[in-house]
Amino acid sequence: MHTAIYVTYYTDDFTAKSFVSHNTSVSEEELANIDMLPKIGNNMFLTPELAPTFTVKDEDLIKILGIITRIADGQGFISNSGAHGQRGYDQKIMFTWVGAAVDIPYRVYKMLGNLGPKLYFFRLPYRESSEDELLKQMSEDFSIKIERIETALFEYLYFFEMGPHLIYDNELHKVKWDTESDSVDAKRCIVRLGVLLQHLRCIATVWHTEDSQASEYAYSVSQPEDPRRAITTLRNLARGHALLTGRNYITIEDIPVVVKTVLSTAQIERVSVFYLLINREKGDVSTDDIMDYLHVARPTALRTMAELKAIGLVEDYEFDDGYKTKPVKHIRLRDPFNWFLSEGFKKLHEDFVPVDNTEFLNQGYKQHEKIIKNNYPHTETFVNLSDEQIETFLSIFQSMEKEQANLSIEIDRDTISGEVLRQRLIETGKFQQDAAAMIVEGMCKAGRIEKAYDTYRRRKE
């Protein structure tokens, strides 16, 4: 049993059914002592490692995120079963969920987009430690450092809860907020960030429609979230920062943490291009700029541009500089987002750049090119992919072959759409856009599949 923590409910793992149980081997009276939902009420719900949650089967993850999405409203949760009928809690149950993960898989973003985005993330910056710093850490006792942190935290909470303006309400110490003193400029920043997040978190499906150069794309977009919910959450985050500094009103000093949270909550690929846009004159970049910045192939860059247009963040146009055989495609931020090009915003985001840790999601991830080349000696660019990713590709490709075999149109039976194949790979959560494009091209060079325009089929021996 883990040691009890002040105003915290701790667990290393949980299931969807643990919030409100319908266990048939336990009486309904005893279930009230098992349910986790009332235990997390008015507490911080702490799950230090989210990997067990994010790596469960899709159907289980949907249930967990679906319930979390519901109870995040703070209005309780009621469920039905054939064992105990209807049971649950029709009451206000407020809590804060805090957990840590190496990175957020793509499939989690997609599920949250469909369920209703109520979770927010903060990507910690990464910095390489020097040899002297690592040497110093070796001589420091870890238990002593933890003790110092705990002492500082509890001393802070002790003095904080002695505040003369605190109100004791519903078993919690609360602060009376001075709304009239909130900075209008700070609140306007929060509104703009909430609208930006509305677009960055929108789920868009993009597919190729025309030539072999993948220059034309169609897309469909899910219903964007209402920015008011995000604005409320981001305002509360700013309030939390204000309280940490001893204020009961928001100022511009509370906005940087909001900026970093917004840029961490969106998918890393979109944020990367957003950074590129806000650091270029007039927020304008070309296909070549994105290829160089993200280190991706032209089809992937074009698809990314189409996706950003689909979510309403940019507008596209073609520019003929007189040197190329065909006009160059560009994208630029739409006018409603021009504030993010200002010096004011640059000061607020404090050079914060979210770190992409997706390569560490798989325990078997291998960095070295030679591991791939040992298995596929004929390829030169098929690198930085794990054995698990290769196995996933083969499984997805075989599955799509079976689907094609059932088509009624004879000519389509032996070819697979490259766009659909890459999208299927990304949806597994094991590939980012560039890795999906890389493995498809790598399999062609390895002689495992054949390419005809942007369609593929198994290579005939």
Q: Which fold has domain 362-458?
A: Arc Repressor Mutant, subunit A (1.10.10)
Is 383 a residue whose pLDDT tops 50? Answer: no
Sheet order of strands, 328-333 included? 284-286, 328-333, 314-319
Q: What pLDDT does 359 receive?
A: 56
Q: What pLDDT does 213 receive?
A: 46
The tens digit of pLDDT for each residue in 52-66 reads 888 777 788 888 888
Is 139 a residue whose pLDDT tops 90? Answer: no
- What is the rounded distance in angstroms from the CA atom of residue 19 to the CA atom of residue 30? 14
The tens digit of pLDDT for each residue in 411-439 reads 445 678 888 888 888 878 778 777 788 88
> pLDDT band for position 252 (50/70/90)?
very high
> pLDDT band for position 378 (50/70/90)?
very low
* Distinct helix (H) and strand (E) counts, the chain: 18, 15
Q: Which fold has domain 181-358?
A: Arc Repressor Mutant, subunit A (1.10.10)
Cα-based angle 262, 265, 270 (whole degrees, multiple of 5): 90
* Residue count (the chain): 461
- What is the rounded distance in angstroms from the CA atom of residue 346 to the CA atom of residue 359? 28
Q: What pLDDT does 439 receive?
A: 85
Least confident of 101-110, 307-316, 319-328, 450-459: 319-328
Q: What pLDDT does 166 receive?
A: 79
Q: What are the distances in angstroms from CA 21 to CA 32, 58, 453?
A: 8, 21, 53
* Type and span of the H or E element at 458: strand 455-458
Is 361 a residue whose pLDDT tops 60? Answer: no
**In the beta sheet, which residues pair with residue 285?**
331
The tens digit of pLDDT for each residue in 25-54 reads 888 888 888 999 999 998 899 998 888 888
Q: What pLDDT does 54 receive?
A: 81
CA nearest 200: which of 109, 136, 286? 109
442, 297 in Cβ contact below 8 A?
no
289, 280 in Cβ contact below 8 A?
yes
Which segments within 31-125 are labelled E, that is strand?
43-47, 77-81, 85-89, 95-99
Is 363 a residue whose pLDDT tops 70? Answer: no
Please give the average per-residue pLDDT across 328-340, as a whole number. 93
Please give the average per-residue pLDDT across 95-123, as a whole number. 81
CA nearest 344: which of 200, 189, 198? 189
32-36, 294-298, 373-377, 390-394: range with highest mean pLDDT: 32-36
67, 16 in Cβ contact below 8 A?
yes
Q: What pLDDT does 150 receive?
A: 86
202, 157 in Cβ contact below 8 A?
no
Q: What pLDDT does 325 receive?
A: 66
Q: How high is the mean pLDDT of the chain?
A: 81
Least confident of 148-162, 164-178, 378-392: 378-392
- Report helix, strand or coil for 10: strand
The tens digit of pLDDT for each residue in 176-228 reads 899 999 999 999 999 999 999 999 988 887 776 654 444 467 777 777 788 99
Strand-strand pairing, 43-47 and 95-99: parallel
Q: What pLDDT does 391 receive?
A: 78
Least confident of 191-205, 358-372, 374-388: 358-372
**In the beta sheet, which residues pair with residue 43?**
95
Give the number of other CB atoms < 10 A from CB of residue 306. 24
Comparing 390 with 188, which gets the higher pLDDT? 188
106, 362 in Cβ contact below 8 A?
no
- What is the rounded distance in angstroms from the CA atom of residue 265 to the CA atom of residue 104? 9
Give the number of other CB atoms < 10 A from CB of residue 425. 24
- What is the rounded distance in angstroms from the CA atom of residue 107 to the CA atom of residue 432? 11
271, 199 in Cβ contact below 8 A?
no
The tens digit of pLDDT for each residue in 281-332 reads 889 999 999 988 887 778 778 888 888 999 999 999 988 766 666 788 899 9
In percent, how much of the chain has pLDDT > 70?
A: 85
Cα-based angle 373, 377, 378 (whole degrees, multiple of 5): 125
Q: What pLDDT does 98 receive?
A: 92
Is 333 a residue whose pLDDT tops 90? Answer: yes
Token digits of residue 386:
């794990």
* Type and span of the H or E element at 404: helix 387-405
Q: What pLDDT does 6 receive?
A: 75
78, 129 in Cβ contact below 8 A?
no
CATH topology match: 181-358 vs 362-458: yes
CA nearest 118: which of 225, 36, 20, 11? 225
- What is the rounded distance in angstroms from the CA atom of residue 333 to the CA atom of residue 335? 6
Spans of all domains in the chain: 8-101, 181-358, 362-458
393, 399 in Cβ contact below 8 A?
no
Helices 418-427 and 433-445, packing angle to 10 deg: 130
Helices 255-265 and 227-244, packing angle to 10 deg: 140
**Residue 335, burial from CB neighbour count under 10 angstroms (0-12, 13-18, 19+):** exposed
Q: Going by C-beta distance under 8 Å and a sequence separation of 6 or more, which residues neighbour residue 123?
A: 260, 263, 264, 268, 354, 355, 357
Is 364 a residue whose pLDDT tops 70? Answer: no
- Report helix, strand or coil for 123: coil
